[in-house]
Structures are given as structure tokens and as C-alpha cells.
Structure 1
Amino acid sequence: MMSILPKFSKPLGIVFSLIAIASYSQNKTYSIAFGSCDNQRLKNELWKSIDDNHPVAWIWGGDDVYSDTEDMKELKDNYAIQKKDSDYLQFISNKQILGTWDDHDYGLNDGGEEYPFKRESQQLLFDFLGTPNDAPERFRDGVYNSKVIDIVGNKVKIIILDTRFFRTAVTKSVNSKKRLQPNPYGQGTILGEAQWKWLEEELTSSDAQFNVIVSSIQLLSDKHGFECWGNFPHEIDKLEKLVATSKAKGTFVISGDRHIATFSSKKVTNLNYPLIDFTSSGLTHVYSSFSGEENPYQIGKVVAEKNFGLLQFDFTNNRVIMQIRGLENKLLGEHIQQY
């Protein structure tokens, strides 16, 4: 008899298995939730609402804590505050926890390769996520890694990027109210050579029905002047070309950082479906004074309420139902992407 238990890199327990089976049997979909920008000193009121959707995994999208510091004890203590929260402890008890960092949990606001304690910070993030001590990502520079979730023979591959460890200098904006402006085309990198090679292999070798690329910063919305892939325009072109040439199925991006939630969609050359960037941020605090910004790829409304992202994978119809949800599990936005 074929097992319908989800398969991960480590066992998750019978409680998780029963929830996943019940959810899949009833809806013929299963869910993964994600979010970013969680200040450990503010109350996260969303954990129960997230859990009500029975996600099989939770993905931290960055700024998992706020700790701009070079003091590793302070960073460790801030992770401990987050991890000892009773609601969070209950939430993580029956699901896979994955994730990356952004700048405030990395240790330096808008920081990149220059941060002197990045290797120490890397290990503290993995400790927080519960990454096994013998995991490959523990022994290389950067926090990038991947996991395959398998249920009833259907696979979702989670490809987690590191947009901090290798990121070279950004360009401060001149004669503008914006913080940053794009580097000259071809100057600098977000991912670095080793991570780019790894990403190419992860995509070209994937046999998953869906491939989720986790980026802490936005890929497609690139006009706002804050951190984004648009500060390295050649890196956007490189990623879009890779997604198209790799032939990886159902590939899309999830991102955070901005304290708003939104969907962006772009037609990419030689890709037979639109590339989606689904931004969900923040969990404890948001850009409540948001009044609009230029984003030629935006679809739907921008949400400036506390929110999390929900991905419902429908294998039968080869589609992903992407939802922005908020307090009391309120549906704040939805995009259904057919692949």
C-alpha cells in the first residue's frame, strides 16, 4: 500500500502526519505558509490563524528577529526570546520549519558581504531553525539550502536563497528621495558565484511539480528605491533566464522585507507561464502609512495590514492558490496561478 505521509529531510511525528493526511484527503491540496518581519519584542498575533490552515511547513522569509548588532550574545538572546514564545512553540510542534535571513537578523541593516560576523550569525540562524548539526549548509558559507516535500508522489521543492552573505555593495541614490538606485549593469552580485552554480543545479535537476524560490528581498518590484533585486539589474536577467532554461516546473518566488504584501507578475522570455513574486510582510508590524509606489508588475491591491502568506498546492489541476491572510485568518488578497 502506498504511503501518503509527507516526506521531509527529518521526521516530524504522527501529529503532523495525521493533519497533513486529513487536509489532503478533504481538499486535495496541501498548504505551506510563510512570512517575514517579526520583531521578537512585539506580540505576534497570527500564529493561531496560520495554524488554522494546517500548513505542512512554515518558511521564515527573513527578519525573523530584529537584532542589528555585532554582539553574538545579543543576537542569540533575541532568537531565544522568539523561540520561547508559547504561541510559537505550539505552532512549530507539528510542522517543518525552514527559512532564510534578511538584514536585521543577519546583523546589519541593509548589510551584505562586509558584515564581519556573518559566519557566526549563520550558525545562530540554523540553531533557531532547528537545522541538523550535520546538514550541508552548516559547513559552507551562506544559508542557502533546499528541501523537497513529497506527498502522494507529488513534490514541491523549496529553494531557499541567501541574499546577504555574498551581496556586494549597493549604490546610494543621488538627487532622489529614494534610498538606493540600481548599480551600473553588470556591477556586483546578490548571490555570489558558488550560490549561482548551486541554484542552477537545483533548478535543472528538479523533478518537482512546483518549485518555490525563497528570496528575502523582492525580485520583481524594483522601482521603490529600497533593497531589491532591481539594485542589480543584471542579476534579475540572470535569474529569469535560468528559470526559463532550466525547464523547472511551476517555478515562482516568495519574498518579504517590505512590511507590505503584494503579488507581482511578469512575462519572461521563453517561459510559458508568468513569473510570480509573492511578497508577504510583516508579521508584527507593517508599513501602515503606505500610500502607493511604482510597480509595473503589480496585480491586485497592496496590503498594509499584519499578514502571512499561504500557498495551497492543487496537484490535480496543476495550480497554486496564493493567499494573503491577516488577523483572524481574514483573506486579504488572492491570486490563483495555473501552471
Structure 2
Amino acid sequence: MKKYVFAIPIFFCFLACKSLPTGESRQAFGDFTITFGSCNKHDVRNRLWDDVLAANPDVWIWGGDIVYADTSNPTEIAAMYSAQREVPGYKAVLEEVPVIGTWDDHDYGLNDGGVEFVSKEGSQQVFLDFLGLEENDPRRAREGVYASHEFIRPEGKIRVLVLDTRYFRTALTPAEEKGKRYQPGTYGEGTVLGNAQWSWLEGELRNSDADFNVIVSSIQVLSSQHGFETWGNFPHEVDRLEKTIVDSGAKGVIILSGDRHISEFSSSAVDGLSFPLIDFTSSGLTHVYSSYSGEPNRYRIGEVVSKKSFGVLEFDFSTKRVHFKIVGDHGEVLGELWQQY
């Protein structure tokens, strides 16, 4: 298994599914590989685990909805996590690849839930059990499952900042427009991350010397017009995140997200950043929005993928490029993006 990393800023290009830069083989690219995904039912066959291993990853990142519990009983959630750990394909991944990640609403325990969820403390502990954390891990004694992970290779360093968009998130604003569930609330009111997590994130980015900084959010950050859960329901929080990234001076910041049962690339030119801010959404692993017929996203690059898939990021430190791929069953590349940083 590979053990390496990379950084990048300046331009991007979306490529057709099978095209590659001249003279490069798909297998040869990259010094460090991240795989990630979300929206996984433990009792539905996941045909992608062998493809995850075939991508030769250095880490697997759960983007949330690892199981579909939707219960306030942590014991029931724990039983589903135990069943997930026994899924043969996932067991094979656990034996070969480090696993980190966050939760979303269905493994949190409450659909579209946030700060109001009464069983979040117990839910947090069984989630941390699922990740295999020691009893003295700091996340055992604090609110929220956010965490920082560093991967150091001779060629460079990657920092992965896993956010918790559930534990502190305040109430959503019901939509007035037919066909939508939520709409942006009053600017300046409400929060996605809460004060403590915001302070932590600002410090992590400000003090990072990593070549790439990957932020994992269970819900989308950039896409905000679909009327479901998104950071865009708290527009001031999006502005704060972008300002935090700019002010920190952190290199090669990338956002990974899930939740939507579709996969897509979103990209935004942020004042003060020398590279576009990319939000790579990968969802879902066992079930998708198969009847998808279109929705607006002013930041979208390329086409929406509504097939079961997972995300791959291949980092090359010497050329300072990242290859983003949406990968389906049998390793089919359903969408890809190259970004120079």
C-alpha cells in the first residue's frame, strides 16, 4: 500500500470520464490517496468495498450516515455499528486501511437533527466505539466528534479536519417555497459548528504547515439552492468559513461532503485564495437519488452522478496537483477533476 502526499492552488479543469493528461497512466498518479463516502445501510449490500481497496488508499474517511439508525436509543445504534463492522467487504478495508470520519443525521440518531437531540451524548460514545477510539481519547470527554488527523510522508504532509455538523447546529428555517424543505435563515443568526468547534477549526487551520488541508463536512458547503440541508441555510457561516480559510493562510484547502445521495464537484473563487475552493460531494454507497432529474447549483463543475459511488483524491506533491474521482462499481470512473494548487 502506498505511503505518501501533496499540495496545490491556481486552476482547474473538468475532464470526460476516461481522459487523462497526456503520457500519464491512471495507476501511476499520486503519492497519497484518500477514499471517502457516505450514506451506507449496513443491511444493504455494498458492492464498492473491493473497489475501495483497489484504489490503494492511505485512508478511508466516513462522511456520515454510516448506518441508518434514526433512534434515540444508543444501544440500537451500537448494534447497527457492530453489524456494519462484520460486513465482509468492510472488514477487509479495516484490515488494510486506517479509518476515520464523522457522523450525519441518521447515525447521529435524528433525521435532520442538531443541537436539540436529547440522546446525542450516548450516540457520541457509540460512534467513537465504532471508530475504535481509546477511552482516553479527548473526544470521549468533550462535546462533538470533530477531530484533526495528520498524515506525514517523506514528500509532504496532509491534515484532515473532520467536522461535526450535528452536535451544535441550531434550528433550520422551514422553506416557504413549494418542493423545498429548508431555506436560508436570518443572516447572523444560528450556527453550524458552535463556538468551541469554530475556535478549534480556526486554530487548526492557522497553525497548519501541511501541504494540503482537507475539511470533512457531512453536509454540503457550497451547493445551497436545493432546499435541503446545507451550510447555505446559515449563509453567515459559509462566509465565516471562507474568511477563516483565507485568514489562516492554510495551503491547499479542500472540502469533502456527503448527505445528498448524489455525487458532484462544486467550485468557488474566493477572494484572497490563490486556488478555487472545491467541495467534493460523494454520496451514496448503498443507495442513491436514482430518480434525480436536475437541481440548481451555481457552483457545479461537470455533471451530477446519481449512481452508487465513492470519492477518490490522489495527491501528487512534486507537481502540486490533485486528481479527484467519482468511482463506481468495477472501478468505473463516473466523473473526475484535476486541480493545480
TM over 0.5: yes
> Residues 97 and 130 of structure 1 are in contact (CA less than 8 Å); yes or no, is this contact kept in structure 2?
no
Match of 1:58 among 45, 57, 60: 60
**Does the 8 Å CA contact 2:3/2:58 hold for their aligned counterparts?**
no
1:94 to partner: Cα distance: 1.6
Where 2:238 maps in the other structure, the secondary structure is helix
2:191 equivalent to 1:195: no
1:280 is aligned to 282
**Which residue in the other structure is 1:332 paired with?**
334
Q: 1:272 to 1:79 in 2, by over 3 A?
A: same
Q: Which residue of 2 aligns with 1:34?
A: 36
Please show how residues 173-322 of structure 1 align to structure 2 within 5 Å.
173-322=175-324
2:325 counterpart residue number:
323
Deviation at 1:5, TM superposition (A): 5.8
Give unmatched runs, 5+ long, in structure 1.
Answer: 8-24
> Distance between the aligned counterparts of 1:269 and 1:68, measured in 2?
40
- The amino acid of 1:332's aligned partner reads L
What is the distance in 2 between the residues matched to 1:322 and 1:54? 14
In the TM superposition, what are the counterparts of 1:48-197 in structure 2 within 5 Å?
A: 48-197=50-199
Letter of the 2:73 partner, please give it.
D
Quote the residue 2:8 is aligned against.
Answer: none
Letter in 2 for 1:240: E
Shift of 1:132: 2.4
Residue number in structure 1 paired with 2:16: none
After superposition, give the CA deviation of every residue in 1:283-306 in whole Å (9 maximum; x if it has no partner).
000000001101000001100000
Name the SS for the 1:243 alignment partner: helix
Q: Is the 8 A contact 2:4 2:31 kept in 1?
A: no
Runs of 4+ in 1 over 3 A off after TM superposition: 4-7, 25-28
Give the letter aligned to residue 189 of structure 1: T
Q: Secondary structure at the match of 1:174?
A: coil
How many angstroms does 1:261 deviate by? 0.3
1:88-145 CA distances to partner (integer Å, 9 max, x unpaired)? 1111102110000000000000000000111111111111111222211121100000
* Gap runs ≥5 in structure 2: 6-26
For the residues of structure 2 that align with 1:316 and 1:53, how far apart are their CA atoms?
A: 20
Structure-2 change in CA distance of 1:292 and 1:154 (3 Å): same
Counterpart amino acid of 1:141? E
Q: Which amino acid aligns with 2:243?
A: K
Percent identity between the two aligned chains: 52
Q: CA RMSD in A?
A: 1.4
Q: Which amino acid aligns with 1:312?
A: E
Identify the structure with bigger relative contact order (alpha carbons < 8 Å, sequence gap 6+): 2
How much has 1:176 moved relative to structure 2?
2.4
For 1:185-215, what per-residue CA distance to the aligned partner results, in whole angstroms no more than 9, with x for missing partners? 0110000000000000000000000000000
* 1:27, distance to aligned residue in structure 2 (A): 4.3
Partner of 1:16: none
Preserved contact between residue 255 and residue 277 of structure 1 (Cα < 8 Å): yes
Aligned counterparts of 2:110 and 2:163: Cα–Cα separation in 1 = 18
- Per-residue CA shift, 1:75-95, capped at 9, x if unaligned? 111111111111111111021
Distance 2:54 2:177 in 1: 48
1:337 and 1:123 mapped to 2: Cα distance? 38
Question: What is the one-letter code of the residue matched to 2:268?
Answer: K
